[in-house]
């Protein structure tokens, strides 16, 4: 799998997690993006590392 493909998959995961967390916390926390964006970044890094480790096997 190419690096570009891994980054694109991780970017889609980033957007999905950010939107889902932000929507889930919208009623409870006014600035829910402050929670959604960092959780999306964490999901991006974890998914990219996972895909990279699967590529090397």
Residue identified by tokens 């993006």 is 33
Number of domains in the chain: 1
Task: Please tell me the predicted confidence (pLDDT) of residue 50.
Answer: 95
Domain span including residue 45: 3-56
Task: Please tell me the predicted confidence (pLDDT) of residue 1.
Answer: 67
Single out the residue of 2, 9, 3 nearest to residue 46, CA to CA. 9
Q: What is the pLDDT along the chain (57 residues), one digit of tens a residue?
A: 689 999 999 999 999 999 999 999 998 888 888 999 999 999 999 999 999 999 876
Q: Kindly report the pTM of this predicted structure.
A: 0.87
| Under 8 Å between Cβ of 1 and 51 | yes
In angstroms, the CA 26 to CA 3 distance is 34
């Amino acid at each position: 799998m190419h690096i570009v493909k891994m980054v694109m998959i991780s970017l889609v995961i980033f957007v999905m997690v950010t939107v889902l967390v932000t929507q889930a916390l919208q009623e409870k926390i006014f600035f829910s993006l402050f929670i959604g964006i960092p959780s999306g970044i964490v999901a991006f890094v974890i998914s990219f590392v996972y895909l990279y480790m699967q590529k090397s096997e």
